[in-house]
A = this chain, B = another copy of it.
Amino acid sequence: MLKKNVETFLGCDSDWRDARVVLFGAPFDSTTSFRPGARFASAAMRKESYGLETYSPYQDKDLADCKIFDSGDLELSFGSPAAALSDVDRRAKHILKDGKIPFLIGGEHLVTLGAVRAASGAYPDLHIVHFDAHADLRGEYLGAKLSHACVMRRCHELLGDGRIFQFGIRSGDKSEFTWGKERVQTRLFDFEGLERTLDALAGKPVYFTVDLDVLDPSVFPGTGTPEPGGVSFEELRKAVTLVCSSANVVALDVNELSPHYDASGASTAVACKIVREMLLAIQKQEV
């Protein structure tokens, strides 16, 4: 009797029971204003992750030694951001309820809002560490409040002042920066001050959201809105490893890979490697 065809991200084949981290994909990009396609990210990453090894020479750790479950992709309603966010919220809640860490693979950045809702329900003192090229602090965008360009503003409405810490930001409407000045900590262009921020967050529950367009488009062209002038792969690799290994990360996501703009596959490989390093680094909490 042959087995069913189970597909997971590289090395994420634990049983649900044992798993401490649970992956899920949110293939959604309906509010993307410039170039859609992030909906294809989670499937592409699952498939292309097999170009990587499970072992990381950076951390001398192996995914084969970790307990991770891949619960596949949600089936989301295109054209209905509210419904899609509810579905993301529900899945994340399900995972959190069992004491596990939800790891969301977007999709456009708006999907983060669904997971932040779930995480802030479970951890009222939630803080957000946010890597991105774009501030995403607009009040509304083209008449819509549920838009990728407003996602951090919506998160701020949930969490309040002083809870969001942005790094790598290099693009935004002037008014976003003005609005954010007193409410959000925004580090322009790079990760300077990250260690200090993590020290200040010691012990607090952290939602960690990585918009991969924080990377320079030379490293990561495969995204909806390429913003020249970003960080290098090494800078991002070190920064995500630091956050995942030293903060109390209770939920996390990686988003905005758009495989259609990744003719060479290099961006998908970058996304997969960043996820691998995050999965390996977060394991310290299992001890």
Contacts and interface: CB of A to CB of B under 8 A. Distances in A.
Contact of A33 (B4, B78, B217, B265): B78
Contact of A171 (B57, B81, B234): B57
A7 B6 CA distance: 6
Given A55-B172, A57-B177, A5 B4 contact: no
Query: Chain A: interface secondary structure?
Result: loop
B3 A222 contact: no
A167 interface: no
B79 A227 contact: no
Given A5-B6, A76-B142, A51 B225 contact: yes
B144 A78 contact: yes
B264 A57 contact: no
Nearest to A8: B5
Interface in A131-174: 142-144, 146-147, 169-174
Interface residues of A, number: 89
Contacts of A107: none
Contacts of A43: 47
A118 to B, nearest CB: 14
Interface in A57-92: 57-58, 62, 69-73, 75-81, 83, 91
Interface string A210-229: 00000011110110011111
Given A83-B143, A228-B269, A233 B219 contact: no
Contacts of A75: 142
A50 interface: yes
A37 interface: yes
Contacts of A29: 36
18 contacts: A1-B17, A2-B16, A2-B72, A4-B71, A5-B72, A5-B73, A31-B78, A34-B50, A57-B171, A57-B188, A57-B189, A62-B174, A78-B142, A79-B110, A80-B144, A218-B218, A228-B270, A228-B273
